[in-house]
Structure 1
Amino acid sequence: MPMTADQSQKQTATLVDLGAIFVSLELSKSTWLVTALSPCSEKMSRYTITGGDIAGLFSCFGELRQKAKRRKNILYPLVVIQEAGLDGFWLGRVLSKEAWIESHIVEAASIAMPRRHRRAKTDRIDGETLIRALMAWKRGEPRACSMVKLLTPEEDDNRRIGRERKTLIAERVFHVNRIKGLLFTQGIRDYQPVNRDRRQRLDELRTGDGRPLSKHLKAEISRELDRLELLLTQIKAVEAERDALIVRETSETPKEATALLGIKGIGPEFATILYTEGLFRHFDNRRQIASYAGLAPSPWQSGNVNREQGVSKAGNPRLRATMVELAWLWLRHQPKSTLAIWFKERIAQNAGRLKTPMVVALARKLLVALWKYVSSGVVIEGAIMKTA
């Protein structure tokens, strides 16, 4: 019987001895599936552990090392891989504390998968796939998978400010629209819930047919205003924490964020998101930072087919959305900069069309320019700086 491609791949993956025990973790709320491949074995072994049981996990790792030692009299280290998911980075930090464990967190979308219309997917198959990807990555195969950088607790915590504010703003918009919608059904169009006189104005409102607001409707709107006022208070508190991190210069204020605030058109919110979501990291070249933001191009070339699919959108969505918004504002606040002039020339070549794709291209160029500015001090050509 001929050997299938999957069987051939499995044997090729298991017969390679890289001097370590390779372990993959499939994490869920209830159970953790541990898949292991030892240098002295040709088959992958599997163990099930209760979710969150760190002691049981290390006990399983110890058994794997002792079993391999009995066979080859070598106490092998462990190379562990897990997907970036609901558990975040805490487990990776716990494993990295041990000298005999090399922990990696992989971006799940970067692992090649079968392209069959109906492919089998189980935790067992995923565990084996993770081990094969990890071994290929350790052998130095290019593009085998993409590993996620393990953030420090401080870096991870700093990102909460911008993300929480975005959530609060979305909730504020929801409640404002809810109040306006309720009043619109009564013929009231000029009420602004975010104004300070919202309570007084509510008592003075009259419907389109000249009646005061009914009792239950007014009570419902009052409760919506209670929620809205709580959100406004929380937004102010979050913005105060943001200003303490970015605006007020102290010994703990990151110099990258302070440098961003010096550019006209970039305020505290943009500086916070740009720094905490991307520019605090180390990038080797402009392609890496564009790829991290999901602003890298994704061509489709095969034979005579050669077309551009747009940006990959495979990176940080918060950083990407912020850069596109900043690109529009850059045209307003920095009209004489080299990047703005480049954008206007390209639009003129297309007779004013394709503004949206060109703004995305401007966002990519602007992100690279800001990265060079905060990392190497390269001034953006033609940019206007804020006065002291």
Structure 2
Amino acid sequence: MQNTIVQNEGAASLEAARTKVKLSRSIIKIGLDMHARLYVAVAQYDQLLPKPARRLAPLEFVPWVRQLLRAGHTVHVVYEACGFGFNLHRELKALGAQCYVIAPRKLDEQCTRVKTDPRDGLTLCQRLSRYVEGNTRELAVIRVPSEEEEQARHVSRQREQLVHHRQKLEAQGRSLLINHSLPAPAHWWKQQTWSRLGKLLPAWITLRLEVARPALLCLQKQINALTSELEAAAPSDIPAGLGKLTTVVMTREICSWERFSNRRAISSYTGLCPGEHTSGTKRIPGSVTKRGNPRLRAALVECAWRMVRFQPNYPPVKKRLGILAKGARATGAQRKKAIVAVARRLAVDLWRVHTGRCIAAQLFNH
């Protein structure tokens, strides 16, 4: 009888210990406000009130999360997409934590017009808590590209940066020429144009332009090399008008066409959908939202203009050919609205082709 009582007491104490260990393992939600030299983290354990903000150096945050995971806790972290990239996301995922990178948005939910890092961290923490509990609309989680996708995307983005640098230097040279009532050809720095232009310029202006000209020639050489690299990666069966360079840029900016579940998702990502203000019986359509990826949006609009020339029978172009055709009597606003509609439809059709919902021959002429 006494042995039975001792065994029961031992089993009860073991069960109590297991329950205590189980209760000590919490689900921790961390809202993180990131800066170059400082991280401000607000943590919430289970359904308790969030703890006061904790200030950490960037190198201290990952060891802190590792310590929480080793203690048996489940850790969820959220931070806004910013200029610090996705390395933190990859480090946390490698540790076993759940990490969410979200699109930046206004964090002052109560419109107090007071912004501090602890308040931002608290708001992120509270939204993460609601997201983990099942309200998936609470966070606009973005897709984090893989390292290979990010490296491939940097090629086209670096080319874009070099083009901007070239345009800036080129414009400065043309401004100098125009300011002194001299001929200002678009590509004044190219060899053929420069050999003719140099005979018309004063010596001091020639000296000033020769400072920038080597940089322009070097930039153009690098741009040509990157352009060749991108075009070499393009598939061989591209329909007329899409262009090798534009096709590769769009594909690398999207990373994966399968990430979009329907045509509304891809249209929204382009930022070419019209805005709207509806209240009561009033409905006021607005300009395009310009959400999502601006590089993809620019590439689609550029490609849409080429479709007008090379694919006049493409259904969205054919429908608006009276507005978009060369010499058409249409205002600039009408042409802009029409080309945006073509670009939006083009994004949807490219998504259909890349996800196997149709073939390119059904939509485009080769």
TM range (shorter): 0.7 to 0.9
2:100 is aligned, of 104, 109, 116, to 104
1:27 aligns with 2:31: no
* CA deviation vs aligned residue, 1:154-210 (integer Å, no higher than 9, x gap): 11111112211122112222222222332334443165424333453354x125xxx
8 Å Cα contact 2:102-2:139 kept in structure 1: yes
Question: Which residue identity does 2:364 align to in structure 1?
Answer: A
The offset of 1:283, in angstroms, is: 1.1
SS at match of 2:95: coil
Question: Which residue identity does 1:80 align to in structure 2?
Answer: V
Question: Which residue identity does 1:305 align to in structure 2?
Answer: K
- CA distance 1:183–1:23, change in 2 (3 Å): same
Provide the residue aligned with 2:8 in structure 1. none
Whole-angstrom distance in 2 between the partners of 1:84 and 1:125: 18
Question: Which residue identity does 1:384 align to in structure 2?
Answer: N
8 Å Cα contact 2:308-2:321 kept in structure 1: no
Whole-angstrom distance in 2 between the partners of 1:42 and 1:136: 13
1:166 aligns with 2:143: no
- CA distance 1:175–1:96, change in 2 (3 Å): same
Provide the residue aligned with 1:368 in structure 2. 348
**Once the two structures are aligned, what percentage of the paired residues are identical?**
24
- CA distance 1:42–1:195, change in 2 (3 Å): closer
2:135 is aligned, of 141, 161, 164, to 141
The offset of 1:142, in angstroms, is: 4.8
Provide the residue aligned with 1:82 in structure 2. 79
Equivalenced residue count is: 335
SS at match of 2:30: strand
SS at match of 2:53: strand
Whole-angstrom distance in 2 between the partners of 1:227 and 1:347: 38
The offset of 1:19, in angstroms, is: 5.7
1:339 aligns with 2:316: yes
The offset of 1:48, in angstroms, is: 1.4
Whole-angstrom distance in 2 between the partners of 1:199 and 1:190: 11
Whole-angstrom distance in 1 between the partners of 2:286 and 2:132: 31
Whole-angstrom distance in 1 between the partners of 2:48 and 2:107: 25
Provide the residue aligned with 1:58 in structure 2. 62
Provide the residue aligned with 1:270 in structure 2. 246
Question: Pairwise mapping of residues 121-200 of structure 1 onto structure 2 (< 5 A)?
Answer: 121-189=115-183, 191=185, 192-200=187-195
2:256 is aligned, of 244, 255, 280, to 280
Whole-angstrom distance in 2 between the partners of 1:129 and 1:265: 47
Whole-angstrom distance in 2 between the partners of 1:24 and 1:358: 43
Provide the residue aligned with 1:359 in structure 2. 339
The offset of 1:90, in angstroms, is: 0.7
The offset of 1:303, in angstroms, is: 0.6
Whole-angstrom distance in 1 between the partners of 2:130 and 2:260: 23
Whole-angstrom distance in 1 between the partners of 2:47 and 2:36: 32
Whole-angstrom distance in 2 between the partners of 1:83 and 1:40: 23
Whole-angstrom distance in 2 between the partners of 1:199 and 1:165: 24
- CA distance 1:178–1:62, change in 2 (3 Å): closer
8 Å Cα contact 2:42-2:52 kept in structure 1: yes
8 Å Cα contact 2:162-2:223 kept in structure 1: yes
Whole-angstrom distance in 2 between the partners of 1:347 and 1:219: 45
Whole-angstrom distance in 2 between the partners of 1:173 and 1:28: 32
Whole-angstrom distance in 2 between the partners of 1:40 and 1:332: 60
Question: Considering only aligned residues, what root-mean-square deviation do their CA atoms show, in Å?
Answer: 2.7
SS at match of 1:295: coil
The offset of 1:64, in angstroms, is: 4.6
Larger radius of gyration: 2
SS at match of 1:147: coil
The offset of 1:42, in angstroms, is: 2.7
Question: Which residue identity does 1:373 align to in structure 2?
Answer: V
Whole-angstrom distance in 2 between the partners of 1:115 and 1:34: 20
Provide the residue aligned with 1:9 in structure 2. none
Whole-angstrom distance in 1 between the partners of 2:304 and 2:354: 18
Instruction: Compare 75-84 and 339-348 and name the one that shifted more.
Output: 339-348
- CA distance 1:147–1:299, change in 2 (3 Å): same
